[in-house]
Structure 1
Amino acid sequence: MGGDGFRNIYRSWKSNWPELSTFFKYSEDLRTLIYTTNPIESFNRSMRKVSKNRPVFPNEDSVLKLFYLATSRLEEKWSMKTRNWGSIYSQLLIQFSDQLELYAL
């Protein structure tokens, strides 16, 4: 990569720094939780696994039921605890209290 490439990268970072730096306002524990995609990838892989042998669904409800049941089975296997969850949850409540109230019902 030549000098122009680095100048372009620098300009891009500099012009987008307000958006990029938002990530750093969170604690290290919360950043780790946000950045980790393994649980999401695992969930998506599981959903593909249950749906790959069903190329056609009779209706939308059948897809929803299949994914609901698959998710229910997956929840039983999810046993890994999130490290420092108490601290992370407290931070989430402070940062996103209005959004989290929706899920507390």
Structure 2
Amino acid sequence: IAVVDGLKGFPDAINAAFPDTTVQTCIVHLVRHSLNFCGWKDRKAVAKDLRRVYQAVDDEEAAKALDDFEAEWGAKYPSIAPSWRRAWQEVIPFFAFPPAVRKIIYTTNAIESLNRVIRKTTKTRGSFPTDDAATKLIYLAIRKFENTGRCVREWVAARNQFAILYPERFNR
């Protein structure tokens, strides 16, 4: 599973390199992008109605929820529903997963947090004498990040679901 944030061409590149990968768009990024189109006073209501789309039981119910959203908000904010429809091919894989997995893959925040730690570590050093020195520093930053005790919420339940969905990858 690869969770991407809407970067054009990224899903195609991932599938070219890893053909069996399920590419999933970051739902949080999609919601944030949608909220950029609406007025400040409507943001909570729009976010609540979009939640019905991504919390639907399956892709058919989600499509109906998106239609309902468009009926409610389409006249006022005509760009939101079409932006979801353009990304729909990367949204619908989300509905094939159980709720425990959905809680983990609906956002790229955990990855972004790790990337922030790596960027902070490399920026404070400026330059490195060798590639090996940079690699070691990044490794140590990741180790330190792992030891902070900040783990992804609901990870244990999701890991158990992943073991059921992908038994060949969890064969200890």
TM range (shorter): 0.5 to 0.7
1:76 aligns with 2:147: yes
Q: Cα distance, 1:99 vs. partner?
A: 3.1
C-alpha distance 42-62 of structure 1, shift in aligned 2 (>3 A): same
Unmatched 5+ stretches in structure 1: none
Q: Cα distance, 1:16 vs. partner?
A: 7.8
Aligned residue among 120, 123, 132 for 1:49: 120
1:29 aligns with 2:100: yes
Measure the CA separation in 2 of the matches of 1:16 and 1:36.
15
**1:52 aligned counterpart, secondary structure:** helix
Displacement over 4 Å in runs of 4+: 15-19
Q: State the Cα deviation string for residues 32-83 of structure 1 (Å, max 9, x = none).
A: 1011222211111111111102332222211110011111211221244632
Identity %: 32
Name which structure has the greater RCO, CA cutoff 8 Å, separation 6+: 1
1:67 aligns with 2:141: no
Instruction: Kindly provide the amino acid, as one letter, of the partner of residue 91 in structure 1.
Output: Q
Q: Cα distance, 1:30 vs. partner?
A: 0.8
**2:154 aligned counterpart, secondary structure:** coil
Whose helix fraction is larger, Structure 1's or Structure 2's? 1
Unmatched 5+ stretches in structure 2: 1-73
**In angstroms, what is the RMSD of aligned CA positions?**
3.1
Alignment-derived partner of residue 164 in structure 2: 94
Structure having the higher Rg: 1
Instruction: Kindly provide the amino acid, as one letter, of the partner of residue 163 in structure 2.
Output: L
